[in-house]
Amino acid sequence: MNDALYTTLNLGPTHPATHGIFQNVLTMDGERIIDTEQTIGYIHRAFEKIAERRPYYQVTTLTDRLNYCSSPINNIGWQMTVEKLLGVKTTHRIDYMRIILMELARITDHLVCNSVIGVDSGALTGFVYLFQERERVYEIYEQLCGARLTTNIGRIGGFERDFSPEVIKMIYAFTDRLPKILHQFEQLLMRNRIFMDRTINVGPISAERAINYGFSGPNLRAAGVDYDVRVTSPYSSYDDFDFTIPVGTNGDTYDRFCVRQEEVWQSLKLIRNALDNLPEGKHYVDVPEFYLPPKEEVYDKMEALIWHFKIVMGEIGAPAGEVYHSVEAGNGELGFYLVSDGGRTPYRLHFRRPCFIYYQALPEMIRGGVLSDAILTMSSMNVIAGELDA
Amino acid sequence: MDNAFITGKLKTRFTDGIISTDETSDMLTVVVSKEVIHDVIFFLKENQSLGFTFLTTLCGIHYPEQKLPLGVVYHLHRFEGNEKIRIKTFLPLKNPVIPTVTDLFSAADWMERETYDFYGIIFEGHPNLKRILNVEYMDYFPMRKEYPLEDQTRHDKDDRFFGR
Amino acid sequence: MVNAGYIKVDPPDGYSSPGLFATTFDKVIGLARKNSIWPLPFATSCCGIEFMATMGAHYDLGRFGAERLSFSPRQADLLMVMGTIAKKMAPVVQQVYVQMAEPRWVMAVGACAASGGIFDTYSVLQGIDLVVPVDVYVPGCPPRPEQIIDGFMKVQELVGKEPLRRRYSEEYKELLKSYGIF
């Protein structure tokens, strides 16, 4: 290899087209990419170390900041991991409420990703359309928990508060309104000649390589593997619902776009279904060791006050043991490997971050392609820096 | 495929290499010696009747009190029957060397670099074993239990207010 | 103040009579600068997503004359650091700051950029003011778009009032020197 023939191009760590903080040093032959060297870790925040020093309920705030485009999935995934360790069974109402929130989060995640694919291929309009709709989801979160992005939603054993009639109305309104916008968005891009030319056969990966690289989520499904944690290991009563798992064929950028787009439709269907069939009941189960007692009781009941104090100070240990629990997050299988030694904090908590695992396949996917296609490949993989570096 | 079948298969193939098996947690957990770890993973992946082709995750763990304090935990997944298996192996603190599995799973590349970065476990045969998340000049392995979480360069914190 | 589709800003203090308006250079230039700030979004994490919402149609930072994002530091006036800055990233922030032309302002958006936030860990820089001088801090984890806009208006206020000679002053040079920027 004659180095003098090639140009070295530095993409990142801060670059408008990478949508995150990671560096690629590309070796270029004219417009063609010969190779790339990736550097990550520019936003490493030591989540796994922090988690070893925080009581179980405080880890939820950390999970918010993993994939911040779909925080509720991370929050609820973590709470379900702790529930699995404790052996707590949640009721159908809690499960359905969780499904509604997780699917809303999936929608926002996919909307961000797909609208950004549009931006990178030169179509800003779709971005503006979809971001307007995404605000509606944030308003729903806000009504539920007061926060927009880093929600810290839900508690171990259920939810902090029930869905108010207002929230249910807002979710219905959102699911009524989104299809129209989504159709418009699809009309702009889906069969658009320019968009198709820019994305078909760009950054493809075969199913075999994708599995070897540990792909999961929409990126794996775009390659034609129908692996979805919601179906293979149903959690939170996903097996009560009928929904389709879209798969692609080529594993290229267009397939990833279409798979995400179809997943949004399926999520909408799931939300409607869950909302229509929302069972009656309480929004939490009885886990006095981890679920805060009602505030009114804390003021005049001794026992409630003690529990409140113990929970807030994080004095309660979880049983010793180890569990692995995974949920289907926006980007794929988000796993929590939790080891407890019986103490008040996790002994070891490892996050299986889908981004971190599949982003290493990028050099293989963009090799031989042109630079502008590499940008599209990167944005269609939906690499979220927070999740990448933990 | 039930756990007894898998443990039976493993025990016939690697007699002394399998240190213990445990079915009490959420999935079959097998502790193997570090000499056979690569062969065990290879066997689980390539054997016709097993076929664990998906490396879910790989991470390190540190138990300072143990004789072999550093551990590596592998989670493998078999799509066909949706089975998962957890493989553990333990290493001494001094010179923790273990063969890499990057030749079997491309996904292991960064996972092993991360484990090296956090725990200082050296994966022999890894194509590019260097720090991935932390700065290159860092001279310790931060996830080991003896190192503090907090930023040691900070001076604005008054310990009296934190009960220390 | 919206009037027939354009935004009218109040004139600075000065003397006016028919056909005449007299004021100082500082004020006129400050007025022009503050209504056409080109921000450089240095978005690393969660706050960056809220910034995207701020730029979106719903909140629309364009109303403040800042819709022209400058991804090149050479042409930017305002460095908006949004999100956690790890120690690995700190030299990059400083380099971007150095590459910006004077006059330049810095806004630390979010708890992480301002102080390290909840991440008091070995790998996170405890506030970007350890590497670059900061003009406005916006609290929140992440701050709402309204807060980011509020912080931006605070920057506008600073920009509008800045004397022309400030960047040549000894104090300012000392300040930069304390950060190792020459």
Q: Does B140 touch chain C (CB under 8 A)?
A: no
| Whether C86 and A43 lie within 8 Å, measured CB to CB | yes
B144 CA: distance to closest CA in chain C (Å): 13
- How many domains does the structure of chain A reveal? 2
Q: Is the same domain home to A228 and A314?
A: yes
- How many domains does the structure of chain B reveal? 1
Question: In chain C, which residues have their Cβ closer than 8 Å to the Cβ of A130?
Answer: none
C85 CA: distance to closest CA in chain A (Å): 6
| Whether B75 and A333 lie within 8 Å, measured CB to CB | no
| Nearest Cα residue in chain B from A389 | B133
Question: In chain C, which residues have their Cβ closer than 8 Å to the Cβ of B133?
Answer: 123
CA A13 to chain centre: 23
CA atoms within 13 A on the CB side of A133: 28
Q: Find out whether C154 and C136 touch, Cβ atoms under 8 Å.
A: yes
CATH code of the domain containing B76: 3.30.460.80
Q: What is the pLDDT of residue A315?
A: 87
Q: Is the same domain home to A332 and A206?
A: yes
Q: Find out whether B107 and B115 touch, Cβ atoms under 8 Å.
A: no
Q: Is the same domain home to A271 and A302?
A: yes
Q: Does C105 touch chain A (CB under 8 A)?
A: no
| Whether A14 and C86 lie within 8 Å, measured CB to CB | no
Q: How far apart are CA C100 and CA C74, in angstroms?
A: 5
Computed from CA positions of residues C86, C89, C95, C99, in that sequence, does the dihedral angle turn out positive or negative?
Answer: negative
Number of A to C CB contacts under 8 A, please give it: 87
Give the CA distances from residue A96 to residues A92, A93, A145, A290, in Å, rounded to whole numbers and listed in that order.
6, 5, 17, 21
| Nearest Cα residue in chain A from B142 | A49
Average pLDDT over residues B108-131: 94
| Nearest Cα residue in chain A from B81 | A232
Q: Is the same domain home to A32 and A119?
A: no
> Does the structure show a pLDDT above 70 at B163?
no
- Residue B58 structural domain: 3-162
| Whether C87 and B150 lie within 8 Å, measured CB to CB | no
Q: What is the pLDDT of residue C5?
A: 62
> Does the structure show a pLDDT above 80 at C182?
no
| Whether B135 and C87 lie within 8 Å, measured CB to CB | yes
Number of B to C CB contacts under 8 A, please give it: 26
Q: Chain C, 47-66: which have a CB under 8 Å from a chain A CB?
A: 49-50, 52-53, 56-58
| Residue-averaged pLDDT of chain C | 89
Given B147, B151, B152, which is nearest C124 (Cβ)? Answer: B151
| Residue-averaged pLDDT of chain B | 90
Q: What is the pLDDT of residue A2?
A: 62
Given A40, A213, A357, which is nearest B132 (Cβ)? Answer: A40
- Residue A341 structural domain: 47-388
Q: How far apart are CA C128 and CA C116, in angstroms?
A: 8
Q: Is the same domain home to A35 and A51?
A: no
Average pLDDT over residues C139-153: 93
pLDDT in tens, B55-81: 999 999 999 999 999 999 999 999 988
| Whether B151 and C88 lie within 8 Å, measured CB to CB | no
Q: To which residue do tokens 């079948």 refer? A: B5
Q: What is the pLDDT of residue C6?
A: 67
| Cα angle B19-B20-B24, degrees, rounded to a multiple of 5 | 165
Q: Is the same domain home to A34 and A53?
A: no
Phi then psi dihedrals of residue C135, to 5 deg: -95, -45
ipTM of model: 0.93
Average pLDDT over residues B132-144: 91
Q: Is the same domain home to A15 and A98?
A: no
| DSSP H or E stretch at residue A375 | helix A371-381
Grouped pLDDT means (10 residues each) for chain A, 390 residues: 79 81 90 92 92 92 90 94 94 94 94 91 88 91 91 91 94 95 92 92 93 94 94 92 93 94 95 94 91 91 92 90 94 94 93 93 92 91 89
Q: What is the pLDDT of residue A115?
A: 92
Q: Is the same domain home to A20 and A62?
A: no
Q: Is the same domain home to A16 and A54?
A: no
Closest CA relative to residue A79, chosen from A387, A287, A304: A287
Q: Does B159 touch chain C (CB under 8 A)?
A: no
Q: Is the same domain home to A114 and A241?
A: yes
| Nearest Cα residue in chain B from A323 | B26
Which chains does chain C touch, 3 or more C-beta pairs < 8 A? A, B
Buried b (16+ CB within 10 A) or exposed e, C78-107: bbbbbbbbbbbbbebbbebbeebeeebbbb
Q: What is the pLDDT of residue A129?
A: 87
| Nearest Cα residue in chain C from B137 | C88
| Whether C89 and A389 lie within 8 Å, measured CB to CB | no
pLDDT in tens, B77-111: 999 889 999 999 999 999 999 999 999 999 999 99
| Whether C123 and A45 lie within 8 Å, measured CB to CB | yes
Rg (chain B; Cα; Å) = 18
CATH code of the domain containing A96: 1.10.645.10
B114 CA: distance to closest CA in chain C (Å): 14
| Nearest Cα residue in chain B from A214 | B107
**pTM exceeding 0.90:** yes
Q: Is the same domain home to A314 and A349?
A: yes
Q: Is the same domain home to A27 and A156?
A: no
Residues of B with CB under 8 A from a CB of A: 24-27, 29, 53-57, 59, 61-62, 73, 75, 79, 82, 84, 86, 105-107, 109-111, 114, 118, 131-135, 142-143, 149
How is residue A167 written in tokens?
Answer: 């929230």
